[in-house]
Structure 1
Amino acid sequence: MRGVVLLSALLCATCHIALSASNDTARNGTVADGLLDNGNFEQAPNATNMKGTVVVGRYAIPGWVNEGFVEYIKYGQKQGDMLLVVPEGAYAVRLGNEASIKQKIKVIKGMYYSITFSAARTCAQEEQLNVTVAPDSGVLPIQTVYSSTGWDNYAWAFKAESGVVELIIHNPGVAEDPACGPLIDAVAIKALYPPRLTNNNIMKNAGFEEGAYIFPNTPWGVLIAPNIEDDHCPLPGWIVESLKAVKYIDSAHYFVPQGRRAVELVAGKESAIAQVARTIVGKTYRLSFSVGDANNSCVGSLVVEAFAGKGTLKVPYESKGTGGFKRAVLEFVAVSNRTRIMFLSTYYTMRSDDFSSLCGPVVDDVKLLSVRKP
């Protein structure tokens, strides 16, 4: 992994994101899970469509339509005293003031999809991105940098209202320098299949196995942004009910208590997930779940707070940062036919080997069942 200084505080690193057959279209003609057409921007504009780093012409970047001040950035390019790097391959794009990139995608009408992409700030100012697939639109704040790589992966979900949709990634910022905009790379899509309830668990997607696309060789997980509606969340069944994002992690790069996926609560009490479960008033329920660490040098006293109706539980976990977990149980009596189940982290924590990367406890394998009293 190569690292350089980004501004005065960020270290940037590169990580190869493997290309696979998922970049091909599916058998039914719709897009398959994986990178979009030229999703990593490795197919470059013609030299005649470039003026320095600025892209000239709306259709200059293969697979994309660009609007406004868009730059085509090569790995190692300098911006003042700062070196720019990209997370995959050699190229990325930078969106200036009010600039955007667009691509039409063949999908299945009525299905839910998640978009995953890499983004990095290039200036010290507050930055955000608008992501749109009409009629859905969302604003993803990127001023908080969660890792020292300088790059974070973000996920955003939508429901397809037609067989062909247009994805738009837009920088709404207004800065003195029009080049002061975010870098974008590695744009991928994944179909979401909202899980159903079973007789063994009242919770949906309780093991977090269904969720956003995670790039095969990206070691920093995917951020699920806050305040996204439940039915459009990249984590089906759940709501990111917090001011900051939660991190969606996989067993290929992290320790996961059960299965292949889990959630890391990376921003203290500002990082929370919730789900509303159907319950019967007066009945007793048992909520059980796993709390652990992701084997990412998140060392120290971690605490997960669980809420279920009027019931609360604090679960301490002394982490050595090398992976591990324990089970916890919260029993409560339902006072409503809808009970909100929520998890948050008590403390902000930084990785012991990297004091600029946020980390936190892992939550996984959530189970909710009614209890038969003798």
Structure 2
Amino acid sequence: MDKFKILLFVLIVATCGAALAITDGLLPNGNFEVGPKPSQLKGSVITAQNAIPNWTISGFVEYIKSGQKQGDMLLVVPEGAYAVRLGNEASIRQKVKLVKGMFYSLTFSAARTCAQEEKLNVTVTPTTEKSDWGVFPIQTMYGSEGWDSYACGFRADYPEVEITIHNTGVEEDPACGPLIDSVALKTLYPPRRTRANMLKNGNFEEGPYVLPNTSWGVLLPPHIEDAHSPLPGWIVESLKAVKYIDSEHFFIPEGKRAIELVAGKESAIAQQVITQIGKVYVLSFTVGDANNSCEGSMAVEAFAGRDTVKVEYLSKGKGGFVRSKLRFKAVSTRTRIMFLSTFYSMKSDNSGSLCGPVIDDVKLLSVRYP
């Protein structure tokens, strides 16, 4: 066998069965741009389990081209020209090689089609923890474009894992399932507390992969749906998601990343920190808007143990922020720091999309001379 044939054989093995070692960014063929052969399609329905390179499918899965019509509905793909649609109980999965013991976040884009109450189940197997899975309700759309990106976090308990995205819904028409595109991974490095900040990841710079060709940020699911937060150091302690935003597409008060509280009091983040009873501390932070047409009166409530402050902000939807502080005396050896948005807000672009105030640059320091 000559050298060319040996190289070709190695490439075929790498793309057809073996798990692939990945770096931060899209999974191999994570945007589904390399699709099935014409012989493996019946219309848009994929007929072979391994028809999409690097992926294995089960159930009713369709290969969707951007601009494809379904009745009066035009199907739009957020990145590239192709996406997949998961019908009733259908799934896609891929094996990847990771560093055992490291933390990772999975980001993917999803859009609802004709079903109303769709949910996606994301699992990572094998794992030593029963809770490395997440259920993502996608009936609430936060992005004006009809697509949203989601992230979940997990720990790699084995050097090779299989990532599965599964549509748990059962519709009369299996072609009403959600569209999936742009599946990516990012390594998460656990942040540390420093002398300049008792809070971990107070500037939110460490977080999930933000897809560069999308402009709607990344939704972080509630803590009850996520074993390991994709936002290291923080818990999404609410019934609804919060949004992770970047400076490439939004106004950010400090650094390159921030959090947008997009669902009123149902959208909150929290962190517990070790404190000394009787000692005085100062919690400082910024409140603003993301320059995303989110206009009107906003308010963020900050909590530190039993103490609280409400920061009001009048947004013109064009970017801006105010700084605020909460001074408190610790009454426990552990103090819970939490932020939530007082009001619900919607974008002024007539999209009906939820939005809200941005928080950033969160710092906690003890006061030596109170």
Question: Quick check: 1:290 aligned with 2:281?
Answer: no
How far off is 1:253 after superposition? 0.7
Amino acid at match of 2:153: A
Q: 2:60 aligns with which of 65, 69, 77?
A: 69
Q: How does 1:158-237 map to 2 (within 5 A)?
A: 158-228=154-224, 232-237=228-233
Please state whether the residue corresponding to 2:223 is helix, strand or coil. Answer: coil
Per mean C-alpha deviation after superposition, the further-off stretch among 240-249 and 172-181 is 172-181
Question: Quick check: 1:302 aligned with 2:298?
Answer: yes
Corresponding residue number in structure 1 for 2:350 = 354
State how far apart, in whole Å, the 2-side matches of 1:48 and 1:32 are.
Answer: 32
Q: 2:120 aligns with which of 112, 129, 138?
A: 129
Question: Quick check: 1:43 aligned with 2:39?
Answer: no
Corresponding residue number in structure 2 for 1:114 = 105
Question: Quick check: 1:139 aligned with 2:135?
Answer: yes
Q: 1:89 aligns with which of 70, 80, 83?
A: 80
State how far apart, in whole Å, the 1-side matches of 2:81 and 2:225 are.
Answer: 35
Cα deviation, 1:287-318, whole Å, max 9, x if unaligned, reads: 00011111112111110000110001100011
Per mean C-alpha deviation after superposition, the further-off stretch among 142-151 and 105-114 is 142-151
Cα deviation, 1:205-238, whole Å, max 9, x if unaligned, reads: 0000000000113111000011257871110000
CA distance 1:323–1:235, change in 2 (3 Å): same
Max Rg structure: 2
Equivalent residues of 2:289, 2:319 under 8 A apart: yes
Please state whether the residue corresponding to 1:179 is helix, strand or coil. Answer: helix
CA distance 1:69–1:355, change in 2 (3 Å): closer
Unaligned runs of 5+ in 1: 1-28
Unaligned runs of 5+ in 2: 1-19
Equivalent residues of 2:34, 2:52 under 8 A apart: yes
Provide the TM-score with structure 2 as the length reference.
0.91
State how far apart, in whole Å, the 2-side matches of 1:30 and 1:59 are.
Answer: 19
Q: How does 1:238-257 map to 2 (within 5 A)?
A: 238-257=234-253
Amino acid at match of 1:188: A
Please state whether the residue corresponding to 2:21 is helix, strand or coil. Answer: coil
Corresponding residue number in structure 2 for 1:105 = 96
How far off is 1:355 after superposition? 4.1
After the TM superposition, which parts of structure 1 deviate over 3 Å for at least 4 consecutive aligned residues? 228-231
Equivalent residues of 1:230, 1:236 under 8 A apart: no
Please state whether the residue corresponding to 1:170 is helix, strand or coil. Answer: strand
State how far apart, in whole Å, the 1-side matches of 2:233 and 2:159 are.
Answer: 24
Over the aligned positions, Cα root-mean-square deviation in angstroms equals 1.3
State how far apart, in whole Å, the 2-side matches of 1:156 and 1:229 are.
Answer: 9
Per mean C-alpha deviation after superposition, the further-off stretch among 227-236 and 143-152 is 227-236
Equivalent residues of 1:68, 1:98 under 8 A apart: yes
Q: 2:23 aligns with which of 32, 51, 56?
A: 32
How far off is 1:167 after superposition? 0.3
CA distance 1:202–1:308, change in 2 (3 Å): same
Please state whether the residue corresponding to 2:76 is helix, strand or coil. Answer: coil
Amino acid at match of 1:247: K
What number of residue pairs does the alignment pair up?
Answer: 346
Corresponding residue number in structure 2 for 1:155 = 151
